[in-house]
Chain A
Amino acid sequence: MPSPVPEIPPSLWEGLRNRDDSSLSELYRLTYNDLLNFGIYFGFTATDTKDAINQVYLELWERGEKLPVVGNIRSYLITALRRKLLKDFNRENHFTELTGREPGYEPPYEEVIVQAQEQQHLQQTLQQALSQLTPRQRQLIELRFFRNQGNEEIAEATGMHINTVYNTLSSALKLLRQTLNRKEKRSLVPLWLLIFSLLGL
């Protein structure tokens, strides 16, 4: 699965070391989604990850010119976030899932997104809904809603025609919504069955 990560200009890091406000904002915007995905892949909730990202940036800002000159900004940020998450945002139940899992290991999107749902019944329903999609449909859903890519970007990245991108996404969304909505109403089914069987008697 391609994971397009925006290029980070070294000048932004230099700007951060000089406590330049607009460099901070630009760096934040460029790295936010990538860092969030990392935390989510790592088994943390999006909210916890967001708070950890802000704490990491807060500390970077405070260190200012004491920050080292960094070659690979992305991996520096990811290491800092990983440390922050493990040190300050660790919940017992997450930890047991995490041990032994390398940060480089990326489970498939379906698995991650299902894990990210807090309610158990939603996890099952979503899993079922996603399993009905073709691999192509799943890939486009991931690119659009998890990797934050626009329709044209997706067309470029996959080599598909823009209309095909629309149609594939459209049919995928229809399938997803059908399954999710049907499941929401499912709790009513036994009652209807009961009534019908009573009528039959």
Chain B
Amino acid sequence: MSMNAMKHDFYTADDFLLDDSFVAYRQGTDPAAIAYWTEWQRRKPGNLPAFREAERLHSMLSGHKPGLEASLQELKTLLADRQAETIPVVDFQPQQTRFQTGWWIAAASILVMLGLGGYWLWQNQTVSYRTDYGQQKTITLPDGSTVTLNSHSVLSHRRHWASGENRDVTLTGEGYFSVHHLEAHVPFRVHSEGAFTVQVLGTEFTMTSRSNLHRVVLNRGKVEVSGSDSRPVLTLVPGQLAELDSATGQLTRREVSPERYNGWLRNQLVFDEITLPEAIRQVEEQFGIDVRFDPAEAGSRRFSGILPLKDPEKVLNTLAVYHQLKITKKGDAYLLNR
């Protein structure tokens, strides 16, 4: 090993690419080679730039394939999660929250007291549904459309929708909408606090409206996204994403795989070419946990993958391994560092 290490310290980029053990490390096919070359890099040998150049060229010539063992590991975590889980978390039965039952009682008394006037008021009451961290809930709206709420989200709407009248809901958090097209072509609008409004006739889409992330991803049909000001609306076709840049207030649109954004419906956490800070934000929002790390150590590597939604520690572990960081638990918080 030490002889090898000596030899490897004088390798040029081409020497690395001609070495079967280096290629096995890049392909992720040989655990021993992966362990060896990972350790070798830690020593920061003088020819590390040549090593990096070899890595870049290998990635290009292989079509940027992800390594085998890492991909298999991802599959294993997905499988372990499936086996442990017997009751599906996603509940596709319409549920009434306690909150709503409260309103029913309140509404009933108003009805008795105020008669028709009360009835009118009741119809105009706002109903809210909310989910805790790690919880999901499917709601059926007055027109038969459904919304599945992801973790830590709130959806509200007026209790009664008169026929021919606009259908308006407000979302904070994240939800998957399946909107019925009504014969009267009545628009369906989703509002997010101060960010933008999505208007549709009948479609399926995922909408996210969290502190500094406002996003719509369209699966089917057609939607129009309009910002809070009077900028022109964006029209999305299936497979497109619209996002509000919180810094500039600009709405942008790009092509994506919609399946990557509603993985949570299938108990999966999907990462799409994202940096560590973005991944951590996603994990914190999903599980309501506190993760600390030094942004200086985050690097610029981007991670893509599908991980199980049940266990935050498994997710954090995978991210830590990928970014070559260690994970420790400190009180209620998780700490990521070198």
**Residues of A near any B CB (own CB < 8 A):** 24-25, 28-29, 32-33, 36-37, 40, 45-48, 50-51, 53-55, 57-58, 61-62, 88-93, 112-113, 116-117, 122, 126, 141, 144-146, 148, 150-151, 166, 169-170, 173-174, 176-177, 180
Known: A29-B29, A33-B65, A151-B20. A173 touches B14 (CB 8 A): yes
**Residues of B near any A CB (own CB < 8 A):** 13-14, 17-18, 20, 23, 27, 29, 53, 57-58, 60-66, 68, 71-72, 74-75, 78-79, 82, 237-240, 255-257, 259-260, 270, 273, 304-306
- Bound complex: CA A1 to CA B189 (Å): 55
Q: For residue B240, which residue of chain A has the nearest CB?
A: A92
Top 7 A-B residue pairs of the complex, sorted by shortest distance between their CB atoms: A145-B61, A116-B63, A92-B239, A47-B304, A46-B65, A54-B75, A88-B259
A113-B61 in contact (CB<8A) = yes
- Bound complex: CA A50 to CA B257 (Å): 14
B75-A28 in contact (CB<8A) = yes
A40-B63 in contact (CB<8A) = yes
Q: Report A-chain residues with C-beta under 8 Å of the C-beta of B20.
A: 150-151
- Bound complex: CA A166 to CA B14 (Å): 10
A54-B60 in contact (CB<8A) = no
Dominant SS at the B interface? helix
Pick 21 A–B contacts, CB within 8 A, sort by A: A29-B29, A40-B65, A50-B71, A61-B79, A88-B257, A88-B259, A91-B239, A91-B255, A92-B239, A93-B255, A112-B63, A145-B17, A146-B61, A148-B23, A148-B27, A150-B23, A169-B17, A173-B13, A173-B57, A176-B57, A176-B61
Q: Report B-chain residues with C-beta under 8 Å of the C-beta of A174.
A: 14
A62-B82 in contact (CB<8A) = yes
Q: Report B-chain residues with C-beta under 8 Å of the C-beta of A91.
A: 239, 255-257
B18-A180 in contact (CB<8A) = no
- Bound complex: CA A58 to CA B13 (Å): 38
- A33 to chain B minimum Cβ distance, whole angstroms, is 7
The residue in B60, B270, B304 that gathers the most chain A C-beta atoms within 10 A of its C-beta is: B60
Known: A32-B68, A57-B75, A58-B75. A141 touches B61 (CB 8 A): yes
- A91 to chain B minimum Cβ distance, whole angstroms, is 5
Known: A32-B68, A51-B304. A89 touches B259 (CB 8 A): yes
- Bound complex: CA A29 to CA B24 (Å): 13
The residue in B14, B255, B260 that gathers the most chain A C-beta atoms within 10 A of its C-beta is: B14
Q: For residue B263, which residue of chain A has the nearest CB?
A: A51
Q: Report A-chain residues with C-beta under 8 Å of the C-beta of B27.
A: 33, 148
- B77 to chain A minimum Cβ distance, whole angstroms, is 10
B61-A54 in contact (CB<8A) = no
Contact pick for A92, options B23, B255, B259, CB 8 Å: B255
- A72 to chain B minimum Cβ distance, whole angstroms, is 22
- Bound complex: CA A54 to CA B72 (Å): 8
Q: For residue B304, which residue of chain A has the nearest CB?
A: A47
Q: Report A-chain residues with C-beta under 8 Å of the C-beta of B61.
A: 113, 141, 145-146, 176
- A25 to chain B minimum Cβ distance, whole angstroms, is 6
Known: A57-B75, A166-B18, A173-B14. A92 touches B82 (CB 8 A): no
- Bound complex: CA A36 to CA B65 (Å): 7
Q: Report A-chain residues with C-beta under 8 Å of the C-beta of B72.
A: 25, 28-29, 32
Contact pick for B64, options A37, A47, A90, CB 8 Å: A47
A169-B18 in contact (CB<8A) = yes
Q: Report A-chain residues with C-beta under 8 Å of the C-beta of B238.
A: 92
Q: Report B-chain residues with C-beta under 8 Å of the C-beta of A146.
A: 61-63
Q: Report B-chain residues with C-beta under 8 Å of the C-beta of A180.
A: 57
Q: Report B-chain residues with C-beta under 8 Å of the C-beta of A25.
A: 72
A122-B60 in contact (CB<8A) = yes
- Bound complex: CA A189 to CA B144 (Å): 64
- Bound complex: CA A55 to CA B240 (Å): 22
The residue in B66, B240, B256 that gathers the most chain A C-beta atoms within 10 A of its C-beta is: B66
Q: For residue A142, which residue of chain B has the nearest CB?
A: B61
Q: For residue A84, which residue of chain B has the nearest CB?
A: B259
Q: Report A-chain residues with C-beta under 8 Å of the C-beta of B60.
A: 113, 117, 122, 126
- Bound complex: CA A187 to CA B158 (Å): 59
- Bound complex: CA A48 to CA B64 (Å): 11
Q: Report B-chain residues with C-beta under 8 Å of the C-beta of A151.
A: 18, 20
Known: A36-B65, A47-B64, A148-B27. A173 touches B255 (CB 8 A): no
A47-B17 in contact (CB<8A) = no
- B303 to chain A minimum Cβ distance, whole angstroms, is 10
- B28 to chain A minimum Cβ distance, whole angstroms, is 9
Q: For residue B272, which residue of chain A has the nearest CB?
A: A47
- B216 to chain A minimum Cβ distance, whole angstroms, is 16
- A126 to chain B minimum Cβ distance, whole angstroms, is 6
Q: Report A-chain residues with C-beta under 8 Å of the C-beta of B239.
A: 90-92
Contact pick for B53, options A45, A61, A62, A177, CB 8 Å: A177
